[in-house]
Structure 1
Amino acid sequence: MTEKTQEKTREKIEGKSTLSPRLAPGLYVTATPIGNARDITLRALDVLSRADLVLCEDTRVTAKLFAIHGIAAKTAPYHDHNAAEMRPRVLRRLEAGEAIALVSDAGTPLVSDPGLKLVREALDAGHNVTALPGASSVLAALTLAGLPTDRFFFAGFLPARQEARRKELAELAVIPATLVFLESANRLEAVLADMAAALGSREVSVARELTKKFEEVRRGTLGDLAAHYAEAGAPKGEIVIVVGPPEKRAALCAHEVDAMIENALQRASLKDAVAEVVSVTGLPRREIYARALELSGAK
């Protein structure tokens, strides 16, 4: 055995092979840190270092991460505004046998980030798609919330307009699971107030700046935290809201449901009153609407 061969054998045994074989062709969906730059896997660092191209939501953001970890890979922007133009180019490069990584600004791509259409088209074309799991603000917030995690529903960002937001919350109210939302700081107080109205007095956790220096998790009821942020003002940083599941209620009798409908009709329009009662009781909307029409017509 030559001295060079002996050296290579020793390096392989020690896990330090100087050889850097090319990555298998395909698309590598790679999670990056949500705050702390050290929250990245060894596998992700290896793939990002050896990829033929790294697609970034914002190349400037990714450049900072690469500078910290000494990565000199080629990058290109891939975001909502240029995705339609970029996808055919990326697919041609995959067809040519290249290894391409996809990252978002923070966390796991495709979770409220661009990339879904690229993954679908890559799969449809028969290309290998590999997930490199890692940091996720959704999972981090869930683990810190102190709320049930056996069943949860990720709802992403709620609509900015209040009417649309309240309508969506009414639909989410009956889901028997913990709800997870992403939200901007400047809308936090209004969103929590709408949640309190639509979801009732549920437990909630508001997490911000996860894994960063000023990480904060505030817990309480929806009403309490809505009041807190109304007084304290909008916090800084990115927000994840985790709302506990609805309480299991005993079946309501007809008189109790009528009382709830009448109470809601005194404060809201027929449409909003129906939505409110449906969200609280979980009863079919058609049934509540028909009864609300009867009660409102009897007045």
Structure 2
Amino acid sequence: MAHKREPGSLYVVATPIGNLGDVTLRALEIFKEVDLILCESAKETRSLLSRLEIVTPVLALYKDSSESPYSSILEQLAAGKSMALVSDAGTPGVSDPGSQMVRTAREKGFRIVPVPGASALTALLSVSGFQVNPTYFLGFLSEKPSKKHRELERASEIDGLVVFYESVHKLPRLYPMLVELFPETEVLVGRELTKTFEEVLYYANPRDLLAKPPNAKGEFVFLLNHRKKTLKGNSDSTDM
């Protein structure tokens, strides 16, 4: 179905997390139709748009500057301009910048339109084989080891799936924490999802992960099957 641009709207658009083929037809239409694309990094977004043969202007929101472009953006939205908001990869606002722009636009009464697409979170959940209700998403864990330990300690009290992202250089400190706090929990690791060297690795418990860790390169998402009761029968939901 063809997209009809709504004047004065902000489209929050997911972009591929690795495989260019994951861009949606709707995202392509919106990129071509909007007046401006708000982005995390102008360089990264221009590279993506170039491969998609799209020439819509871009504006980086997250420069190292105390000056905010929001007032100018709001003025343009008020004048009837439509805009797309993207991050470097994935969905804006989901462990990526974007929340502040959305909140600011909503407070001013502008229409916010979600345009879903690729996500490391949902990609790993889809191939887990685990009952996914409930799922607790922690985003990126804290930089400081002590704070990270507290976050995981709180998560260990959860009855359900625990999902989080972690930077590759922090993995050596992460694994012992998982052994300590989730000793009998199944672990699924997604590395470089949708990319050339994609891996989805299953471990019966964190000790196995510590004994044979994945290649420490790329981007990682972790899924802990911390359900305290084994569910029997088919309890999959078809609501979403």
TM-score between both structures, scaled by the size of structure 1: 0.72
| CA RMSD, 1 decimal | 2.1
Q: Does 1:55 align with 2:38?
A: yes
CA separation of 1:83 and 1:138: change in aligned 2, threshold 3 A = farther
Aligned equivalents of 2:67 and 2:177: distance in 1? Answer: 36
CA separation of 1:242 and 1:82: change in aligned 2, threshold 3 A = farther
CA separation of 1:170 and 1:84: change in aligned 2, threshold 3 A = farther
For residue 187 of structure 1, give the secondary structure of its aligned residue in structure 2.
helix
Could you say which structure has the higher strand fraction?
A: 2
The 8 Å contact of residues 5 and 30 in structure 2, kept in 1 or not, is answered as: no
The 8 Å contact of residues 37 and 85 in structure 2, kept in 1 or not, is answered as: yes
Q: Does 1:228 align with 2:212?
A: yes
Counterpart residue type for residue 206 of structure 2: L
Matching residue of 1:210: 193
Aligned equivalents of 1:142 and 1:43: distance in 2? Answer: 24
Equivalent of residue 60 in structure 2, options 77, 83, 94: 77
Aligned equivalents of 1:92 and 1:113: distance in 2? Answer: 25
Could you say which structure has the higher helix fraction?
A: 1
For residue 101 of structure 2, give the secondary structure of its aligned residue in structure 1.
helix
Q: Does 1:123 align with 2:112?
A: no
- Using the TM superposition, give the Cα deviation of residue 95 of structure 1 relative to its aligned residue in structure 2, in angstroms: 1.1
Q: Does 1:24 align with 2:7?
A: yes
For residue 109 of structure 2, give the secondary structure of its aligned residue in structure 1.
coil
1:89-238 to 2 correspondences below 5 Å = 89-220=72-203, 221-229=205-213, 235-238=216-219
Aligned equivalents of 1:136 and 1:162: distance in 2? Answer: 26
TM-score between both structures, scaled by the size of structure 2: 0.89
- Using the TM superposition, give the Cα deviation of residue 78 of structure 1 relative to its aligned residue in structure 2, in angstroms: 1.4
The 8 Å contact of residues 173 and 246 in structure 1, kept in 2 or not, is answered as: no
Aligned equivalents of 2:62 and 2:210: distance in 1? Answer: 33
Which 4+ runs in 1 deviate beyond 3 A? 20-23, 80-84
The 8 Å contact of residues 187 and 224 in structure 2, kept in 1 or not, is answered as: yes
- Using the TM superposition, give the Cα deviation of residue 156 of structure 1 relative to its aligned residue in structure 2, in angstroms: 0.9
The unaligned stretches of length 5 or more in structure 2 are 231-240
Counterpart residue type for residue 34 of structure 2: A
The unaligned stretches of length 5 or more in structure 1 are 1-14, 250-299
Counterpart residue type for residue 73 of structure 2: V
The percentage of counterpart residues that share the same residue type is: 37
The 8 Å contact of residues 174 and 246 in structure 1, kept in 2 or not, is answered as: no
- Count of aligned positions: 229
CA separation of 1:144 and 1:80: change in aligned 2, threshold 3 A = farther
